[in-house]
Structure 1
Amino acid sequence: MSGPLGAVGTARAIVSIVEGMATSDGAGVKLNRIIGQPALPDLDPFLMLDAFNSDDPNAYIAGFPDHPHRGFETVTYMLAGALRHRDNKGNVGLLGPGALQWMTAGRGIVHSEMPEQRDGLMRGFQLWLNLPARDKMCAPHYRDVAAEEIPSIDLAAGVQAKILAGEIAGRRGVVETGATAPIYLDIVAAPNTACELAVPADHTAFLYAYEGEVKVGERETAARLQSGRLGILSSGNRVVIDVGAAGARLLFAAAKPLREPVAKYGPFVMTTEAEIKQAIADYRGGRF
């Protein structure tokens, strides 16, 4: 869904801006953690957002060897470089530039994500999306989406969005999404442009600027969002974006909040501590 500039409705505003925190994960992959750090532990139903961007193979070549997940979904989107996925359900896939991987861990999966190159740029994002309590023990499933399969749409003159998930302006992404009904976009905007998105009023939403800067909101209350920062958006059914002289690249994500208890322990996300203990026991017992 999208609407013309000046459409009727409540424009969302930035209520908080969060800067990512440098950290490492897997076998020492250096990354920037935006959601899932002390300044922003989660943003219901989003559990984590990591950005990785390096041209130094030593920062990423060790990758993410075998590790388990239970109770949520992982969404990996590559801008440059390649990752090889393997899991204990027999799935194998190569995630190249512009490609998307959507994995629903459900009741349990063990997988690895390993770089397929020894030099060159490795750049992309991984988003964790919670599952409702009723779906946490569903059968795991996995989908690779090649770059050429991802639909794109012109939001305005000079502003294009790749639809990684959900629907906008009558176009849908190719991944079938569940109870949180996520919308996930990669927006590329030329200098001095503007666009507007229509979004469900009840969805949690954020913008993450990974290049350039933008102003978000109606002109009299617009707030500036600089590169490397995430803006948490207020409620409303419209998002108004004005792009600066350098142009911008943005991730936009919105999803229905679950408003359920969250119990987290590393790669396990459940609703109670007892379920976390059971997940640990099941993994150690080889029941994934």
Structure 2
Amino acid sequence: MSQRTISRLAVSHPSQDGDGVKISRIHDFDGGLDPFLMLDELGSEHPDDYIGGFPPHPHRGIQTLTYVVHGGLMHEDHLGHSSSIGSGDAQWMHTGRGIIHSEMPLTDHAGLHAFQLWINLAARDKLSPATYRDIKGDEMPHLKESGSELIVLGGRWATTTRSVVGPLDALAGQAGIAHVSLAEGATLALAQDAPTLLVYVFEGELQIAGETVPAQRLACLSAGETLTLSSDVGAQALLLAGHPHDEPIAHYGPFVMNQREELDQALRDYRDGTLAK
């Protein structure tokens, strides 16, 4: 089976969102990460960098996945959902035709460290009903090999000895999401043939097919059937797998549709109060 290699690297850039929350962001609204659109990393020991959180705001046309490494977030939305997630937990929103929600930070001794991923919806699903779901860390299967661990949030992931399926089973683009940790000198071999495969390193360094990927870099991988990850110094990363929609993308703020006219309609619907009905 053919090994996947790095076709390009994307760099995470400092940005700001919500009420002054400092983030590191990678985005591509031109289809280069299809079906994924954006990955934000929130991480700081300084409350002023994130304490304002994300007050109520709308979305249409995407799914969001928030995964917490340290700290936590409290979610509320117009559908009546109100819940909080902590270290190792995740929350998933299918925004469909419209949702208005807020996410406010909770901290632990290590501050806040979390990720939010935007996954594009296919055109046929962009005006579907909105839904929401929490996933606790103890619901996520773990694949452990010598010196490595894979925590599976969604999709099917397999090592050379076993495979598991994550609890998030309605991800757009047949997406799969996993969190990998490698000890110093460890290697992990995975079978993964999804057309889109991305690796975001957020701690340490990873080696993929002889190339080193430092922290805050997203490796976009070539076609193939297997992925081998190793680390000389230890590393943590997010793995994102999916199937492209291959559809036009029109983006404005919290809305992602297929045509500019659909964005204009989303703005009108938000202003007149019908977006989330």
Q: Does the residue aligned with 2:128 lie in a helix, a strand or coil?
A: coil
Look up the match of 1:88: 78
Alignment of 1:172-251 (within 5 A): 172-201=165-194, 203-217=195-209, 222-244=210-232, 246-251=233-238
Cα separation, 2, equivalents of 1:208 and 1:229: 6
Look up the match of 2:33: 43
Give the superposition deviation at 1:116: 3.1
Cα separation, 2, equivalents of 1:284 and 1:199: 43
Look up the match of 2:249: 262
In structure 1, the gaps of 5 or more residues are 1-8
CA contact (8 A) 2:63 2:172 kept: no
Look up the match of 2:15: 23
Q: Does the residue aligned with 1:58 lie in a helix, a strand or coil?
A: helix
Task: Go from structure 1 to structure 2 and tell me whether the alpha carbon gap of 1:62 and 1:249 turns closer, same or farther (over 3 Å shift).
Answer: same
CA contact (8 A) 1:159 1:188 kept: yes
Residue 111 in structure 1 maps to residue 101 in structure 2: yes
Cα separation, 2, equivalents of 1:172 and 1:270: 29
Q: CA deviation digits over 1:141-160, x for unaligned, max 9? A: 00001111111112x31111
Look up the match of 1:54: 44
Give the superposition deviation at 1:178: 4.3
Give the superposition deviation at 1:41: 7.6
What is the identity percentage for the equivalent residue pairs of Structure 1 and Structure 2?
39
Q: CA RMSD in A?
A: 1.6
CA contact (8 A) 2:70 2:108 kept: no
Cα separation, 2, equivalents of 1:178 and 1:79: 20
Q: CA deviation digits over 1:223-246, x for unaligned, max 9? A: 1111111111111111111211x2
Cα separation, 2, equivalents of 1:119 and 1:65: 24
Task: Go from structure 1 to structure 2 and tell me whether the alpha carbon gap of 1:257 and 1:29 turns closer, same or farther (over 3 Å shift).
Answer: same
Look up the match of 1:100: 90
Q: How many residues align?
A: 271
Q: Normalising to structure 1: TM-score of the pair?
A: 0.90
Cα separation, 2, equivalents of 1:178 and 1:172: 12
Cα separation, 1, equivalents of 2:93 and 2:14: 25
Cα separation, 2, equivalents of 1:178 and 1:237: 21
Give the superposition deviation at 1:200: 2.3
Q: Which stretch shows the higher mean deviation, 27-36 or 119-128?
A: 119-128
Q: Normalising to structure 2: TM-score of the pair?
A: 0.94
CA contact (8 A) 1:57 1:120 kept: no
Look up the match of 2:259: 272
Cα separation, 1, equivalents of 2:140 and 2:24: 25
CA contact (8 A) 1:77 1:99 kept: yes
CA contact (8 A) 1:56 1:119 kept: no
Look up the match of 2:24: 32
Q: CA deviation digits over 1:50-88, x for unaligned, max 9? A: 001101010000000000000010000000111110000
Q: Does the residue aligned with 2:231 lie in a helix, a strand or coil?
A: strand
